[in-house]
Amino acid sequence: MAEFTLDLNDDQKQVRDWLHGFAADVIRPAASEWDEREEMPWPVIQEAAKIGIYSLDFYAQQFFDPTGLGIPMAMEELFWGDAGIALSIVGTGLAAVGVLANGTEEQIGTWIPQMYGDANDVKVAAFCSSEPDAGSDVASMRTRAVYDQAKDEWVLNGTKTWATNGGIAHVHVVVAVVDSELGSKGHASFIVPPDTPGLSQGQKFKKHGIRASHTAEVVLEDVRVPGHCLLGGKEKLDQRLARARERAQSGGERVKNAAMATFEASRPAVGAMAVGTARAAYEVALDYARTRTQFGRPIIDNQGVAFQLADMRTQIDAARLLVWRASWMATTGKPFESAEGSMSKLYASETAKKVTAQAIQILGGNGFTREYPVERMHRDAAIYTIFEGTSEIQRLVIARTLSGMPIR
């Protein structure tokens, strides 16, 4: 088991510097253009694919880093470059993780390579879970999957929303209800292969921030997928549903806690994204405060500005520490006895919103214009307290964990 450490080893430093260089030289120069266009930055994704950043191999190497710091380190550097473009680069990972977590070896080997394509033919994938009436309340999901035994096919009907890469993806991973009486325990995940009839893109959202990332509804109308597209297979699903029914009758705490552990383990990565955005805004504000002069001296000499910067840096470092601790705990199998995963996501998300707002204040009128990047960073930061579990949900999880109450 790797010991917790704040010192990156030589390999990690090399990867960090490589990612930082790509973020500085490729992502940042393109950030304003793609934010204004509100379009998928395909040329940037292709550049990332050419050098190996947009690839399954790269993310697998970071995921299996024994210290647990590979993924948060990568997320921080890419999102330091720009949140919208970075989310376009890493968004496929949501679907890939869904297959890795639930699929068979054959499904993993078949579908994940198709999600990425290659440098000459880049593909993306979408993970479709949220619905218009089922965001945080996953038990209210309405998308249904019905098994057609005669044809060994599953028939999917429903509408998904807030899907990153939704509708433009080569492969969609769709979560649907197979047993409505079991609530969230009656869900299963399905692969929808390319060009499957009945799947279409609904509304594409015009967003406040992360505008270079494609976000849309996915409409499923009598979408038929082969039986082998049920992640994990039907035998495994039937066994899981049977266990869930038994536990539902006798009290299902163990199931809830296991599900909670899965969610907790994924949240530090979002926290790392928020740290990257906060750090970027802080660095712009620091540089501006050092060079902007008023009344014959740099504005950083004014205590009101200097203290803001001191608080900003302290909060960013504290957020990173929480993210790294939770990431290390998840990798080494340490139990989240105090909802440390939710703590890291909550604090880092709120820090990003606060720090980017302070950066605008330090830049004054300039910070309010699109000539400086902090305006965009502030818009981008708003998403961190919303997606992958709102700040209110994180507080609820933490409070119920501390009190011993069940987490539904």
Catalytic center residues: 388
Q: Which helix (H) or strand (E) element contains residue 349?
A: helix 340-363
Residue found under tokens 């109308």 = 221
The string of DSSP codes covering 54-122 is SSHHHHHHHHT-TTS-HHHHHHHHHHHH-HHHHHHHHTHHHHHHHHHHH--HHHHHHHHHHHHEETTEE
Closest listed residue to residue 360, CA positions, set 377, 374, 342, 343: 374
Q: Are 173 and 127 in contact (CB under 8 A)?
A: yes
> Cβ distance 71 to 63 under 8 Å?
yes
Task: Name 148's bridge partners.
Answer: 153
Nearest 5°: CA angle at 48, between 44 and 52? 170
Residues 172, 199: contact at Cβ < 8 Å? yes
- Torsion 300-303-304-308 (CA) sign: positive
Q: Which amino acid is at 65?
A: D
* 3-state SS, residue 303: helix
DSSP, collapsed to helix, strand or coil, labels residue 226 as strand
HSE-CB for 344 with a 13 A CA cutoff: 29
- Cα 100 from chain centroid? 16
Q: What is the DSSP letter of 253?
A: H
- Amino acid occupying residue 316: I
The C-alpha R_g of the chain, in whole angstroms, comes to: 22
Cα 323 to Cα 319: distance, rounded to the nearest angstrom: 6
| Residue 292 one-letter amino acid | R
DSSP 162: E
Token pair recorded at residue 25: 């030289």
Helix/strand/coil for 219: strand
**Angle at the Cα of 288 (from 81 to 207), degrees rounded to 5?**
40
